[in-house]
Structure 1
C-alpha cells in the first residue's frame, strides 16, 4: 500500500524571525513545523498543495519579506512520504529553565532533582504555536516574576499555550484572563490550564481586543509581534488599572525605536527593557489619573 504523500516546504530564514512567520503559516493550515537554526520545514497533504494554496503561501512570504527585508527569506518544496512528525518533534523538546525560579516542562519529561522547589509550568505545546521556550517567552517570564504583586489580576493577550497566564497564577496572582484569536491556541491553552490545575483561576476566551471584558487588570502581558501590538494597543490600555503594569514582548531589538514612538503620548511610560539575542521585552506602567494634579 502506498504511503500517504505530503508536500514539504523548506523555508530558509534566520532563527530570530522564524516564530513570526510560523504563526502566520499555521493560521493558514500548515502543519508539523520542524525548526533548525537557519531554516524550518512545514507540511501539508500533497493533494492540498493546490494552485490556490501555493498563491496564498507565496503571498504570505512576499508580505513577510516586505515587512522584514533583513530576514533573508527563501523557500522550496519537495514531495515526501508521511512520517510521525509529532514523535520526532517531541524528542527535541526538553525542560527549560526560564528564570532562576521557573521551569517549563512538557508532560513527557520527568522532573529533575535540581528542579526541586522551583515553580513548574507543565506546558504541552502544539507544533503550530512553538514550544513556549522562545526568547520572548523567557523575557516575559523574567519581567512577570519581577513585577507581579501577590493577589494581582492578570490579562494575557495573545495567550498561545497559556504559559504566561499559568505562570501568573503560580506566582501569586488572584486570577487571570487569557485571550487569543486562534481557536486552536485557545484549545491548547485550555489543556495546559487543566494540566497545571489552575482552571478555576484562569478564564479563557476566543477573540481579539474587542472581546475583552468590561473590567481592568493590574498587569497585562502581550507576547505578540509589533504589527499586532500596534493595532491593539489603544484597545488594551483602557483595561489596565492606573499604576498597572504592561509587559510587551515579541519585539525585535530593531523594533524598539518604533515601539517607543508608538507608546509616546499614550499615558504609559517604560520602566525596564531587557533583551536576549535579537529579541526584546519592555515593561511599562500606566500613569495614575491624578498624577498631574
Structure 2
C-alpha cells in the first residue's frame, strides 16, 4: 500500500485540536515536529533519547504530520482535514501559517521511522511512560510504569498538557478515590489514576477511536478491572459522584461543562483541568470561580497552563 504524508505548518496552540482532527479523519499516526525539542532540557530522560536533525524542523511554529493511505478518497479526505482545521479559527485558535503540503512516502520507511521519536520518559516523581516496544528497568521500587502504544491514538502521553495533569493527579489523589476522566484519549490519565491508587476510574470520550485505545491500553497496564470506558459527550447524563475529575482538553471545551463537573464532584472534590493555552487561562479560571470552585494551583509548562480547583 502507498501512503501519503499530510504536513501542516501551524502553531503550538493548535497542536492538540489539529492532532485530534487528523485522528478523527482517519490518519494512521501523527508526528509533531517542534523546534523547541531541539533545545529542550532532557535531564529527566533515561539514557540517550534520540538524535534530531534541525533541518527537519521549522524555524517557527510546528509541523504536524499525518499519514493517509493513497486511495480514491485521498483528495476528499485531505479537503475535509483542511476545512476542519480552518474551522478552528471560529474558536479563536491561532493557526499560524496554516500551510499544508501533501507528499507520497515509502511504506516501509513510515512504518518504523516514527518510533525513533518515542523513548521512556519520566513524567513525574513516580510516573514513567514507556512505549510497548522498549525494554526498560525501573530505577527504583517506587517508580510507576505506564506502557502505551503510541500507534493507537493521541501520542505517547508526553505532551506538556498531559505531563501537567499527571503531576497534579499524583499530588492530589488519595487511595480508593473515584475518578472521572473527561476526554480520555489514549487513556493515560485513567491509567495513571488507577496506578496511583484510585479504586475506580470512569473514562469518557466522544471519539470511538479513543474509547478503543483507552480500553486496549488499560488492559496493557492491567487496569481494565478498575477502568470503565464509555463513549459519551463530556459529562452529559453522568450522575455518579467522584472524588476527582480530570480533563485534558481545549479551554473552550472545559468551560462548557464546569457546572456539570461541580455536580459530579463530592464536597471537597478535586477538578484538574489542562490543555489550556496561556491566553485562555483567565477565561477558564473565571468560569471555575463563578461555579464555586476554589483555585488551588495554577502551573505553566511551555506556554500550556493547568489549573487545579476544589469544590468547597
Say if 1:48 and 1:97 are closer, same or farther in 2 by CA, change over 3 A: same
**Rounded Cα–Cα distance in structure 2 between residues aligned with 1:175 and 1:128:** 23
| 1:139 maps to which of 164, 177, 201 | 164
1:6 corresponds to 2:3: yes
CA distance in 2, matches of 1:236, 1:188: 24
Once the two structures are superposed, the pairs formed by residues 25-104 of structure 1 within 5 Å of their partners are 25-37=22-34, 38-46=62-70, 47-50=72-75, 52-68=76-92, 70-84=94-108, 85-104=110-129
Structure 2-normalised TM-score? 0.84
Alpha-carbon distance between aligned partners in 1 of 2:267 and 2:153, rounded to the nearest angstrom:
36
Distance change (3 Å), C-alpha of 1:268 and 1:69: closer
Asked if 1:23 is matched to 2:20, the reply is yes
The farther-off stretch of 272-281 and 120-129 is 120-129
Aligned ranges 1:1-293 → 2 under 5 Å:
4-37=1-34, 38-46=62-70, 47-50=72-75, 52-68=76-92, 70-84=94-108, 85-112=110-137, 114=139, 116-126=141-151, 128-210=153-235, 213-287=238-312
Does the CA contact (< 8 Å) of 2:181 and 2:190 recur in 1? yes
Residues paired across the two proteins, number:
283
Provide the C-alpha distance between the structure 2 equivalents of 1:130 and 1:68, rounded to a whole number of angstroms: 24
8 Å Cα contact 2:204/2:232 also seen in 1:
yes
Q: TM-score, normalised by structure 1?
A: 0.89
Q: In 2, distance between residues paired with 1:126 and 1:239?
A: 33
2:54 is matched with which residue?
Answer: none
In the superposition, relative to structure 1, how do residues 32 and 49 fare at CA in structure 2: closer, same or farther (>3 Å)? same
Q: Which has the higher mean CA deviation after the structures are superposed, 14-23 or 270-279?
A: 14-23
- Asked whether the 8 Å contact 1:33–1:127 carries over to 2, the reply is no
SS of the equivalent of 2:119 reads coil
| Contact 1:7/1:77 (8 A) holds in 2 | no
Deviations 1:118-152 (A, max 9, x none): 01111223354122111011101111111111111
For the structure 1 residues 62 and 218, does the alpha-carbon distance in structure 2 shift closer, same or farther, using more than 3 Å as the test?
same
- Relative distance call for 1:97 and 1:31 in structure 2 (3 A) is same
Q: Give secondary structure in 2 for the equivalent of 1:31.
A: coil
**Residue in structure 1 matched with residue 52 of structure 2 by the alignment:** none
Q: Following the alignment from structure 1 to structure 2, what is the Cα–Cα distance between the partners of residues 211 and 120?
A: 32
SS in 1 for 2:181: strand
Following TM superposition, where does structure 1 have runs of at least 4 consecutive aligned residues deviating by more than 6 angstroms?
none
Q: Which runs of 5+ in 2 are unaligned?
A: 35-61
SS in 1 for 2:156: coil
Answer whether contact 1:15 1:36 (CA < 8 A) is retained: no
